[in-house]
């Protein structure tokens, strides 16, 4: 019995060790991209912020200035966030949806669902953001 358990653990541990690296890889990359784009907004760096946009977003907003103005106007919590924290993530094929909890202007809380798509070169680009006003939590 001890030999069977040892063989099982010996065969299972390498697979368990490899699994988290594979599962976390796109999530770590996606979160880094989102953080970098938010930093670009905070630094008024339209060129860098635009670089994270997917080709379909670039088709709708063909210049850095048009993109920057659209985000400033329609996504104020993303453009000027207070506190940012990552929530749940979902990977489905070449698409990752990342939940981002944001404290926006005026102290209002938001949940942003970022959709990133893997590009032919292996990079990920932001393909859209869906904003939802977060319900207030319980008093503490």
If DSSP states are collapsed to H, E and C, what string results for the chain? CHHHHHHHHHHHHHHHHHHHHHHHHHHHHHHHHHHHHHHHHHCCCHHHHHHCECHHHHHHCCCHHHHHHHHHHHCHHHHCCCCEEEEEEEEECCEEEEEEEEECHHHCEEEEEEEEEECCCCCEEEEEEEEEECCCCCCC
The whole-number pLDDT of residue 135 equals 73
Q: Where does the pLDDT of residue 114 fall: very low under 50, low under 70, confident under 90, or very high at 90 and above?
A: very high
The domain locations on the chain are 2-133
The whole-number pLDDT of residue 137 equals 64
Distances (CA, A) of 116 to 8, 57, 63, 88: 38, 11, 20, 14
Q: Which of 81, 84, 95, 92 is nearest to 30 (CA)?
A: 95
Q: Residue 84 pLDDT more than 60?
A: yes
Topology (CATH) of 2-133: Nuclear Transport Factor 2; Chain: A, (3.10.450)
The whole-number pLDDT of residue 20 equals 38
pTM comes to 0.79
Q: Where does the pLDDT of residue 90 fall: very low under 50, low under 70, confident under 90, or very high at 90 and above?
A: very high
% of the chain residues with pLDDT over 70: 79
Q: Residue 128 pLDDT more than 60?
A: yes
pLDDT per position as a tens digit, 18-77:
333 344 689 999 999 999 999 999 999 999 999 999 999 999 999 999 999 999 999 999
Lowest-confidence pick of 10-14, 35-39, 97-101, 133-137: 10-14
């Amino acid at each position: 019995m001890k030999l069977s358990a040892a063989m099982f653990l010996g065969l299972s541990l390498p697979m368990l060790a490899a699994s988290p690296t594979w599962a976390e890889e796109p999530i770590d990359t996606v979160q880094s991209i989102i953080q970098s784009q938010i930093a670009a907004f905070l630094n008024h760096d339209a060129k860098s912020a635009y670089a994270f946009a997917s080709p379909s977003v670039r088709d709708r907003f063909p210049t850095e200035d048009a993109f920057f103005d659209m985000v400033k106007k329609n996504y104020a919590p993303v453009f000027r966030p207070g506190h940012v924290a990552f929530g749940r993530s979902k990977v489905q094929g070449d698409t990752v949806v990342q939940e981002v909890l944001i404290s926006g202007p005026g102290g209002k809380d938001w949940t942003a669902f970022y959709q990133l798509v893997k590009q032919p070169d292996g990079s990920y680009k932001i393909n859209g953001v869906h904003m939802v006003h977060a319900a207030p939590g319980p008093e503490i």
